[in-house]
Structure 1
């Protein structure tokens, strides 16, 4: 009897030890998202809600940072391990002597729209009319700022002739337009639908579809991605692979499920009070996502061309595009 009790106690202790070890083995990763509620960055929250991070033994914390440039700074400082943001930051930062790389490429279009306030629609009919105007962006040095500046410069407007005003996204962007602080601005869904459907703004430049993106920017423009410091990736290949597994599986889910099914998985407050509009926008925006997370071959060159048109940091510098992204992990991704 004593031996039986002893065996039971030892068995319980062993189970407790295994359970503790399994919990301790969960790898903690912190990712900063450049605007959690934006549909272009939907794969981050969707992966978490589907439980794909946990399947990989990862304990992932998602932090919200509305401006991509601030998320980039947090990554460089080592405060987070990765950023869900625009690929173009990897090129901009390489010109400053630092190396980031896209590990999983979520989309091949910006998913952004340049909106003009309805009351200014007769005065701003193209980016050539940006001269003397105040244009809303999420943050100075952000991807919305990059694209806005390119649109102006490519239509003959000098950087000194237009003003970029950081107004964030969502409610703060909407308020800035309502209050007349900005004449036009670049934003994403669901903010686009909220302003257009209520008649407060009109679409000036649409960068949501591959067709429009190629027409306006001269090629596909890989945008939303998971990017990380190159050195960290090299030192933590196992963790990076697990993240890639989770995100590629999420992209496949997006590709094989309807906008309605995807919306059901998202937090209700992301709908901004209009679920139907969210579903409609997502149904249209789904085509921006890349099912296998692989960088489109022609994409990096298009992004470099765009940045070189106005960004003095990039212009004239030799950029090694092969060091701005990797397909190593998406190629080896295990999604079953």
Structure 2
């Protein structure tokens, strides 16, 4: 007898054959198989789990067809989701707080990073005599995009040192070769960016680092606690309508988180697209080593992370009333917990 699809599905329901035929049942279970993830600076190590999940086929393994739309910065990626051209954001955790303050409810549901990994540096070309943060007054500071997490980090740093955002001029420079060029040519006097951009400029001896959040210890020193960073977040409406799809996304990211921690820089550099290496594989590997601690090992948000992020954001976002923010609605570890049960190891 020839087995039809109907016969096979009946057998799967009776005997558990679905476990060995995932493509037959899984796609039907997902509420939304095809979706778009918006990200601001895909090549950044900050978003490495997203790239690994894509490159290693982890999204496909979960029955998903994912398109990654890359933008110049996190604020642009957020606009894509709010505007309806993307479903989920791969972006900075603190955007969920800012959105709630405006009456829009978005929730982080799996982490890619446990430290911001943002570095603030000054140009040795235009600020060779830099001595203190006060020297930044009146200067041009490059950020990936105005309103992005790099912009927010600089605002917080300025606030800590008695300066206001209006004391400087912010310029969007992106997160790739354009940012490197902006610093090399003196278009900006300082820059908040991430690796491999920062690593490239360090190699060029073009910058002096003045604030660094690539390690958990330095992050706690600057922000006063654990500061969640890159995550997947979506509107609460999307999560309510697509819980199985959200779980599939979380499964892929947690699997990528663990894969990164289990593999060395050589293996990772061979896995990401060649364009990420900016023409220098050894430099990229050095950047990986410098940032590995900042990447999440399991997709979970640290217990004190939401409060740290809220305190930091409230310090420099005008009219943000921290007392009115419900941090329980800006994140959940439920999806990451389930993903860790499915993938206890790599």
TM-score (structure 1 length as normaliser): 0.91
Contact 1:136 1:167 in 2 (8 A): yes
Distance 2:216 2:6 in 1: 58
- Picking from 315, 328, 343, the partner of 1:335 is 343
Q: Does 1:168 align with 2:186?
A: no
The structural deviation recorded for 1:326 is 0.6
Question: Unaligned regions of 5+ residues in structure 2, if any?
Answer: 9-20
C-alpha deviation, 1:44, in angstroms: 0.9
Contact between 1:307 and 1:315, CA under 8 Å: does it hold in 2?
no
Instruction: Tell me which residue corresponds to 1:89.
Output: 95
DSSP-derived class of the 2:212 partner: strand
Residues 1:273 and 2:279 are matched in the alignment: yes
Paired position in structure 1 for 2:149: 143
- CA deviations on 1:83-139 (whole Å, 9 max, x unpaired) are 111001000111010011111011111111011111244443333322111111111
Do the aligned partners of 2:311 and 2:322 also contact (CA within 8 Å) in 1? no
Q: Distance in 2 between matches of 1:45 and 1:121?
A: 35
CA contact (8 A) 1:111 1:207 kept: yes
RMSD between superposed Cα atoms in Å: 2.3
In the TM superposition, what whole-angstrom CA distance separates every residue of 1:226-249 from its partner, at most 9, and x where no partner exists? 111111101110101111111111
Q: Single out whichever of 55-64 and 170-179 deviates more from structure 2.
A: 170-179
Note if contact 2:126-2:186 (Cα within 8 Å) is conserved in structure 1. no
Correspondence for 2:18:
none
CA deviations 1:30-52 (Å, max 9, x no partner) are 10111111011011111011111
Residue 37 of structure 1 corresponds to 43
1:263-308 per-position Cα deviation (integer Å, ceiling 9, x unaligned): 1111111100000010111022111112111100111111111111
| Distance in 1 separating the partners of 2:147 and 2:298 | 29
Structure 2 partner of 1:178:
184
Structure ID, larger Rg: 1
Q: Secondary structure at the match of 1:309?
A: helix
| Structure 1: gaps spanning 5 or more residues | 1-6
- Equivalent of 1:247 in 247, 253, 261: 253
Q: Which of the residues 46, 62, 72 maps onto 1:66?
A: 72
User: 1:47 — aligned with what?
Assistant: 53
For residue 57 of structure 1, the aligned residue among 58, 63, 81 is 63
For residues 124 and 91 of structure 1, what CA distance do their matches in structure 2 show? 34
Q: Whole-Å Cα distance in 2 between the matches of residues 246 and 20 of structure 1?
A: 16
Separation (CA, whole Å) in 1 of partners of 2:72 and 2:230: 14
Q: 2:159 aligns with which of 153, 160, 166?
A: 153
Tell me, in whole angstroms, the C-alpha distance in 2 between the residues paired with 1:211 and 1:326: 24
Q: What is the match of residue 114 of structure 1?
A: 120
Paired residues in the alignment total: 327
